[in-house]
Amino acid sequence: MKIAVLPGDGIGPEIVKQAVKVLKFFDLEKSLDYAAIGGAGYEEFKDPLPKSTLELALKADAILLGAVGDWKYDKLPRDMRPERGLLRIRQSLNLFANLRPAIMFSELIHASSLKAEVVSDLDILIIRELTGDIYFGEPRGIVTNKKNEREGFNTMRYSESEIKRIAHVAFRTALKRSKKLCSVDKANVLESTELWREIIIQTGKEYPEVELSHMYVDNAAMQLVKNPKQFDVIVTGNIFGDILSDQASMLTGSIGMLPSASLDANNKGMYEPSHGSAPDIAGQDKANPLATILSVAMMFKYTFNDQDKFNLIENAVRGVLNRGFRTEDIYSNGTNLIGCEEMGDKVIERLEV
Ligand code: IPM
Ligand code: MG
């Protein structure tokens, strides 16, 4: 078993360190190989996805990623920016299926900005297509137009095969859950998502047990805050999924709690928290490592087919929350404020019992 560990930038290294404690707890220390990505890759090799990192990731069974990005790289040419490293690794490894669960831990009900009854027991899964759409569509660029004015443009594109393969992932996932799938698009305006809807409907014929619905993305954004429990599995394209998954994460109180898995066709996966690199709090031992630790749980479930370890880790996290330990992002009066490092230790303590 080989696990590539890519800490990245900002809070990446400190949260990954805590998640690595969990991997070591399960005796995987010898399976770990570290490499630089994002700004860290740029610093070391002048490349946000250094060749050696990509090679390591290609050979690995699974990848654990922290986060990439820092304002100090904003002025670099686009290809050198940390985010490019992330997009390139997703594309190079064909990690087209991004699973982003939004689960309400009952202990954190008061950390949500929504009323408790709206979000209690919330458990939704956003499946975001990750290697297509306007993120990768060509042509793209910034040019000078006929009026001698600069003009930026991107192309929103989806091919039938790209839609079909994410549709299969979504229907299969829905079968294992409540058999309800909502596909989110903007088929009333955009041709690329008109095709999306057509292919989703067509693929759905192979899954008659799944109750399929469709929603325009603007309405979905509204319904997610109005009545999020109407959803179970949501499938959508890359850009809509980027936005809706951030929104869904806040229903649960903090984006600091939410893991993610990005899978290829063989369930090889890259596991990372859904949140970013938060350079404003980097190195201050304030970050919440639970999303990264829960991402390790997802690694066991999806790549290593080990539901038991998934449950063990999730229960350990629950146990820590139950005992009142909180990082700053989920802190409320009467709970016990601790740092990133200590939160990692608390999870290990719960795993040990
Ligand atoms: C995410 C992030 C990335 C994305 C950025 C960092 C490129 O926002 O994983 O959601 O837009 O996909
Ligand atoms: Mg995002």
Ligand 1 site residues (CB inside 6 A) read: 69, 83, 86-87, 242
Domains defined along the chain, listed by start: 1-96+264-353 (3.40.718.10), 100-257 (3.40.718.10)
Q: According to the model, what pLDDT value does residue 164 have?
A: 98
Query: What would the two tokens of residue 74 be?
Result: 């904003």
Residue 224 burial (C-beta neighbours within 10 Å; 0-12, 13-18, 19+) = buried
pLDDT in tens, 50-68: 999 999 999 999 999 999 9
pLDDT in tens, 150-174: 999 999 999 999 999 999 999 999 9
Mutation probe of ligand 1 site: the residue of 74, 242, 258 with most atoms within 8 A of C-beta: 242
* Contacts of 50 by beta carbon, 8 Å cutoff, 6+ apart: 35, 36, 37, 41, 44
Task: State whether the Cα torsion 37-310-97-129 is positive or negative.
Answer: negative
For ligand 1, atom 9: residue with the closest CA: 274
The residue annotated as part of the active site, out of 42, 73, 135, 302, is 135
Grade residue 255 by pLDDT with cuts at 50, 70 and 90.
Answer: confident
The pLDDT of residue 110 is above 90: no
Q: How far apart are the first and last CA of the chain?
A: 26
Greater confidence (111 vs 213) lies with 213
The Cα–Cα gap between 269 and 307 comes to 16
Distance 327 CA to ligand 2 centre (A): 22
Q: According to the model, what pLDDT value does residue 250 have?
A: 87
The pLDDT of residue 228 is above 90: yes
Grade residue 253 by pLDDT with cuts at 50, 70 and 90.
Answer: confident
Q: Does the annotation count 216 as an active-site position?
A: no
Q: According to the model, what pLDDT value does residue 219 have?
A: 98
Query: What is the rounded average pLDDT of the residues 300-308?
Result: 96
Distance 240 CA to ligand 1 centre (A): 12
Q: Does the annotation count 218 as an active-site position?
A: yes
Grade residue 82 by pLDDT with cuts at 50, 70 and 90.
Answer: very high
Q: According to the model, what pLDDT value does residue 342 have?
A: 98
Q: According to the model, what pLDDT value does residue 166 have?
A: 98
Q: According to the model, what pLDDT value does residue 118 have?
A: 95
Q: Does the annotation count 242 as an active-site position?
A: yes
Do residues 101 and 274 touch, judged by C-beta distance below 8 A? no
- The HSE-up count of residue 54 (CA atoms within 13 Å, CB side) is 17
Q: What rounded mean pLDDT belongs to the chain? A: 96
pLDDT in tens, 262-272: 999 999 999 99
Q: According to the model, what pLDDT value does residue 27 have?
A: 97
pTM of the model: 0.94
Q: Which ligand 1 atom sits closest to the C-alpha of 238?
A: 12
Grade residue 332 by pLDDT with cuts at 50, 70 and 90.
Answer: confident
Residue with tokens 């309800």: 180
Distance 130 CA to ligand 2 centre (A): 11
